[in-house]
Structure 1
């Protein structure tokens, strides 16, 4: 019994000692697995990249603890340098720690780039276009992109079969590579014939006018590009869909001929034409059904059904609600085919939501322009309900300032569901300029100018003097027929009130030239002070006072005594006022709306001058947008000037003149109206009426064609206004937008006999003017 107990005791002791031994050995195991120290770093494979450069890019250092995280980050840093195409890291036991070995495979350095002989694209052009350049590391992805770029350049010229390969010549010692682009241009792919098949409803001529791909003929190269052809199919499908053929399908195939010529077959499956059945409108309480139907101009009962047109009408309904402040309005549509009638029923569901109000107005993007300059043009204010019409008008006003390249509006949420912050986002344009140059016109002949202008001037903002919305202009012109100086300043908001003010100081000198209708030299020196106010959204008025000294001298030989009587220096002191209504959508390039102004001014001895006369004028322009972004413009100018008091006639420098580039084209400058009885030089008249009709259509972004008709006359006496003998002209012209200003070239032909001329003859009018 004792032996058994003793044996059990010994067993327990043995197990305890065994466990203690295991526990005692545990520290020994941890010590053997402790992280080791980096004893050495070995860089292998670098040929052109120095050891110092590589070590500077990594954080691992000799003497530091070896950590996999650091190794991983160092790999990323080395890859991000762009120097290496492959990197590997290994380690070896070394002096009780690790030796870290970094194996590098450097990218090749491009030593030379050459091209095979090309015919249709210059080698220098290709060198500038590609990203791969001499001295850079060779990147295979970038090289592939460059190959695709060259193919695209050739495709734009019609070489869609071009093949581009790159040969590489590697110097293993210097690690440099020479690249040689082998370009097989092939033939330019041109279209010989386009055949339309499956078009039962529309003639092939109509469809061919829709597409940009054209067959080769005298005035078109007929180049073929696959991406353009795919876009052409989309145009055809869109056209058919808008006409109710919503199941239409289109595809094309090509037949290759000789020397790059191809035939194109466009196969159409028109399908059935669908018409609109019942149009149901649900959920409208604030806006009547009649108002909604008024803005639905595309989808109407019995008309053709088109998903594109339906989308337009849905947008019009949303705009209708937005204009009334219901910016949360949700408009959804559903279309279903009625099997009995074969028509498409349209269901429009409206969730009007509630009215939204403006919490704050935030201005973004204006680094130079002061906030107040932008805010004073907005037609909406904090607390107002959202109004789409006022937003669009605000955008027009900001755009018309000419300070911004782009103007947009956005909304931001607030703590209140029915209140949103209105965000005005602007991208500022360059408003200041120092420019000089020259030009030529049939009116002013050769002209040179130098000009300093800041359209967003701020006299208080030193040293930039920008951002206040003021306008400052200093301009000098000299030429063969005129020499002018002008200093002009305008403050559109005096003391932040909606009243404008400004002044002009000028010296204008006209040099005698019968080519432009001046039989004498004319010099005008003076200035004016002006104030204006906006009465309504589109109506404004201004008043001004002007004083100038006018000198007439150096007449042509043999002029009449009546014309010689105009010689001398006179003082003209006058006050005037103008009322204008302007609803144009743009003051720079209007396409719709009108502008009409009426003015009256009076000059007299009582104001400090020595000439007594009064004058009234009406000017107007009306713009109508038509198809293809074309515009039809109607212009009119009428005026009467008459003497009073001590003056027995209106001085020649205050009379009306017509004829030439700016009034009635087809006639010599200022030659329509009264003329000198001896020399036939123009002497002007006391009344004028000129009307112009001009149609312009854009051909490309910066080029427009124009067709015009001008008519009018100048009468010697104010009482003869509109008494007849109108002179008319018609012709063609081009309008070119250039960085230095608009270029106009017109050819006008007179429809009536020209005063002082034996026969009718057409005339060219050319002008290069500085844009402001």
Structure 2
């Protein structure tokens, strides 16, 4: 019985095992069949006409024989889409014997056959096509159409069409794809007047200066009277900030716009000023280095005075600046102000955490692969061991920039930063410079109203080193020789129709890193005047010293030979020329002083400069000559996107006397007129004249006064100038008065083109307002490429 049960159970187990094997075999066969059916047997591209099938297949990963993977196919769709040629991509799967056929069905983007403009009556189609991004032959991209709508709209607004409407449309006509920009130009509107109402605190002119929008006035290419809504809204915010910064904290500003004849816009700005807030008390806490009264003197906010909102940050900065100059560079200054319960009054509190005074531990020079360390260090006004003075830091950075040794085009040719020293109260100063091209080999020329046309073959290097000899020919060609000592080398041959110049000069501005300078120059000038020809050849030695920051004195012995020859073709030669015809030896010494406190020696906008000299000469030329020239620069205001308006004024005074009892030779006298003197008059066209020949023969006295207003037209590259020149050249000291003063006024243009280096093209048109009968006038004066007026 037991065997029967065992046999029956064994049969059941065998039956179950057999059944399981049959099922498992069937599953494996099904999986194998399904796997075979998921193999991609063929990849097909459908719908492409311009883009080749090979180009599309090269962008995808899936290949015939691969197992179908939806994730990889999705990535391939993205890859085809990124080609930028299609508007739609669909994936289709078809079962074929042995596997699948994968189909990428693409819809190509339309190619633009033609671009049209509809409704543009005031602006030509040619100009509009230059503004848009899409071009004929490009694939149509609808997002670019929207961008181009905005560009056309902005262009019209710049042309004073503020109501312009632009709508882009794409269509198919006669089998061609056409994009049409429908334009409703609207009227051309210019701002005729901007009026303010309710302004009692400030005059209209003052408020207009805060705004970028201007009414139409001459010259219209600068002031077209264009209205831009975004700019106008920004101007309203600026007006509000201006009032708040001057104490009217509750100011409210609204506006209304009216039109006349559909093309003249009148803007009325309503101002509700409210009451002005005043400072009741100014309290300073935490000060130990300074007294409260000393710090209050540096503040713009004064007790009893108006509360200037912008002065809060400025006064905080001034306190930090005062501490920075004493080495407390970590000083923290916090400001808070509260309003008084009694009227429109404000209480201002400054809390100071002085921290520790910092000292200079080391000065590290970085970035100077050619300029010597000592050349950089001698421009620094601070030294290791002394307290860290932020004012000296700023001044040293300015001095380094003005040397011209470093890359002016980089924006920051010389930067000064700090790093922690070995102790908590010590700082290392990092002076980082960017080497620039200091040597310039020039083959060219120029034109000057005073010197005519001239050629120029010259080499100038402001960072020369006469001892740095080249080790190889490549060393010389690559600029790795004769560099880095801060010496100034000038070699020039400049032939011209009115003046020829030969010059060789070498100057060391800091001999042995001392405040003393030394220089030597050899020169030969040949100058043709109307009455005579003058040739001067000689040498000059210069010894100088920097007395204080940016103030130099020099003594310059000179020896020269001067040859005067009358013009052969001139029959009536002034007696003053005949008296000096021939050769003259001149030995002299000149004492000079030079100061330059401008923000930039190449394009000054702030500060002043002056140059004076006293010359004593003997041998054949016995004279004493004194001359002084000064100029001051004031930035008036800065117009956004245009630049700074600068007012400059100055004068020149010169007097020469003979020490031998004879007349001063004509070649040592003063003349006025021409570029750099009295514009509107000819070069040397203002001076005493010979009674017989009526030729200009010069005088012993020179007096000039000049004023110029510089207006930026395009940054610092194109500038307009409005000038008034006045002065005279007269017979002697007894004529120091305003008798026979000449006056001229006019306009000019200044072009500073980057690839011309520091050269500026100057064009001036001057009109004499006061003149003498014998004066020679010349309306235009043009100067490019330099050229002295020797």
TM-score by length of 1: 0.81
Any conservation in 1 of the 2:337–2:349 contact (CA below 8 Å)? yes
* Distance change (3 Å), C-alpha of 1:544 and 1:207: closer
Any conservation in 2 of the 1:404–1:429 contact (CA below 8 Å)? no
Aligned to 2:528: 511
Distance 1:389 1:665 in 2: 40
> Which stretch shows the higher mean deviation, 104-113 or 760-769?
760-769
Match for 2:408 among 404, 414, 437?
404
Aligned to 1:637: 653
Any conservation in 1 of the 2:379–2:399 contact (CA below 8 Å)? yes
Match for 1:690 among 696, 699, 703?
703
| 1:455-470 pair list within 5 angstroms | 462-465=476-479, 468=484, 470=488
Aligned to 1:285: 288
Aligned to 1:305: 307
Aligned to 1:55: 57
| 1:316-465 pair list within 5 angstroms | 316-356=318-358, 357=360, 361=364, 363=366, 377-380=379-382, 386-402=388-404, 403-405=407-409, 406-407=411-412, 409=415, 411=417, 419=427, 422=430, 424=432, 432=440, 434=442, 436=444, 438-439=446-447, 441=449, 443-444=450-451, 446-450=452-456, 452=458, 462-465=476-479
1:151 positional shift: 0.5
1:400 positional shift: 2.4
Aligned to 1:83: 85
Distance 2:518 2:676 in 1: 29
SS at match of 1:54: helix
Any conservation in 2 of the 1:742–1:770 contact (CA below 8 Å)? no
Match for 2:496 among 454, 475, 478?
478
Match for 1:520 among 525, 528, 532?
532
Aligned to 2:317: 315
* Distance change (3 Å), C-alpha of 1:72 and 1:277: farther
Aligned to 1:226: 229
> Which stretch shows the higher mean deviation, 489-498 or 164-173?
489-498
* Distance change (3 Å), C-alpha of 1:111 and 1:87: same
Which structure 2 segments of 5+ residues have no match? Answer: 638-644, 754-759
1:141 positional shift: 1.6
Distance 1:55 1:382 in 2: 69
* Distance change (3 Å), C-alpha of 1:399 and 1:178: farther
Any conservation in 2 of the 1:358–1:422 contact (CA below 8 Å)? no
Instruction: Report the count of equivalent residues.
Output: 744
Residues 166-220 of structure 1 show CA distances to partners (whole Å, capped at 9, x for unaligned) of 33244898xx733233323221123455554444655667645654545567876
Match for 2:766 among 736, 746, 749?
746
* Distance change (3 Å), C-alpha of 1:617 and 1:80: farther
Residues 596-624 of structure 1 show CA distances to partners (whole Å, capped at 9, x for unaligned) of 4444555556xxxxx35454534241525
| 1:672-751 pair list within 5 angstroms | 675-685=689-699, 687-698=700-711, 700=713, 702-708=718-724, 710-711=726-727, 713-715=729-731, 727-738=740-751, 739=753, 740-750=760-770
Which structure 1 segments of 5+ residues have no match? Answer: 514-518, 606-610
1:282 positional shift: 1.7
Distance 1:193 1:642 in 2: 63
| 1:209-288 pair list within 5 angstroms | 210-214=210-214, 222-255=225-258, 258-288=261-291
Distance 1:680 1:558 in 2: 10
Aligned to 1:589: 603
Residues 258-306 of structure 1 show CA distances to partners (whole Å, capped at 9, x for unaligned) of 4344443433332332111111112222343233212212x11111213
1:153 positional shift: 0.7
Residues 232-274 of structure 1 show CA distances to partners (whole Å, capped at 9, x for unaligned) of 3123212321331112122223345543444434333323321
Distance 1:11 1:771 in 2: 119
Any conservation in 2 of the 1:457–1:465 contact (CA below 8 Å)? no
Distance 1:534 1:22 in 2: 109
Any conservation in 2 of the 1:665–1:750 contact (CA below 8 Å)? no
TM-score by length of 2: 0.79
Any conservation in 2 of the 1:547–1:574 contact (CA below 8 Å)? yes
Distance 2:590 2:49 in 1: 84
Aligned to 2:147: 145
Distance 1:105 1:427 in 2: 56
SS at match of 1:159: coil
Any conservation in 1 of the 2:523–2:539 contact (CA below 8 Å)? yes
1:440 positional shift: 5.7
Q: Does 1:537 align with 2:553?
A: no
| 1:50-199 pair list within 5 angstroms | 50-64=52-66, 70-71=72-73, 73-89=75-91, 91=93, 99-116=101-118, 118-170=120-172, 177-191=177-191, 194-199=194-199
1:503 positional shift: 5.5
1:148 positional shift: 0.4
SS at match of 1:155: helix
Aligned to 1:608: none
1:587 positional shift: 1.9
Any conservation in 2 of the 1:747–1:765 contact (CA below 8 Å)? no
Distance 1:330 1:32 in 2: 79
1:524 positional shift: 2.9
1:49 positional shift: 1.5
* Distance change (3 Å), C-alpha of 1:210 and 1:523: same
* Distance change (3 Å), C-alpha of 1:506 and 1:18: farther
1:580 positional shift: 2.4
Any conservation in 2 of the 1:508–1:523 contact (CA below 8 Å)? yes
1:521 positional shift: 1.9
Any conservation in 1 of the 2:767–2:779 contact (CA below 8 Å)? yes
* Distance change (3 Å), C-alpha of 1:230 and 1:427: farther
SS at match of 1:579: strand
> Which stretch shows the higher mean deviation, 16-25 or 157-166?
16-25
> Which stretch shows the higher mean deviation, 31-40 or 728-737?
31-40
Distance 1:377 1:282 in 2: 38
SS at match of 1:732: strand
> Which stretch shows the higher mean deviation, 428-437 or 674-683?
428-437
Any conservation in 2 of the 1:188–1:223 contact (CA below 8 Å)? no
Any conservation in 2 of the 1:584–1:590 contact (CA below 8 Å)? yes
1:336 positional shift: 1.2
Distance 1:312 1:187 in 2: 46
| 1:592-631 pair list within 5 angstroms | 592-601=606-615, 611-613=620-622, 615-623=624-632, 625=634, 627-628=636-637, 629-631=645-647
Aligned to 2:564: 552
